[in-house]
Amino acid sequence: MHILLVEDTYAIGKNVREYLELCGHTVMWCEDLATAEHALANHRYECAVLDWMLPDGDGAQLCQHIKMTKPMPVIMMTAKSQIDDKVQAYNFGADDYITKPFDLKELELRINAVTKRAVLDDTAPLHIKDLVIDLEQHTVYRNSEKVSLSHTEFLILQMLIDHK
């Protein structure tokens, strides 16, 4: 399984990556949002594990972005342990939440659980803000209303999606 790991604490990131790789996963470890956003734009992952507090931004915002644009489960992995933090993460679209410190085996089990429940399908419609774009059916909906596009307009939209 290909996993995106976003964690700025070197020791945690290194340990998580090494453990998950020993379990047979391929892990792309990013230490900041900019690197993570670049990785997301250029590679396909089956799960993301995100730290909340990053040096250049907010991992919860990245979670929200992922959930709006990719059919991929997200686990928040953070030191924030208050119930309000957990509620906020789930409201941003997190599929699971694990607080630091944690056992690496538990993280692996959570990754396996959320990916079993996820439907990873490249043909699934894309959800971008108030748009739903179905590349298979060549349809676009905005606020649940069908947007009429010519064939050329749809091809341009598809090219923009493919080359963010």
Question: What are the residue ranges spanned by the domains of the chain?
Answer: 2-117, 126-162
Say whether pTM exceeds 0.85.
no
Q: What phi, psi does 107 have (nearest 5°)? A: -60, -45
Tokens 């993301």 belong to which residue? 48
Query: Class assignment of domain 2-117?
Result: alpha beta
User: 126-162 adopts what CATH topology?
Assistant: Arc Repressor Mutant, subunit A (1.10.10)
Amino acid 123: pLDDT:
61
Over the stretch 70-103, which tens digit does the pLDDT of each residue have? Answer: 888 999 999 998 999 999 999 999 999 999 999 9
User: DSSP string covering 32-77, please?
Assistant: SHHHHHHHHHH---SEEEE-SEETTEEHHHHHHHHHHH----EEEE
What does R_g of the chain's alpha carbons equal in angstroms? 17
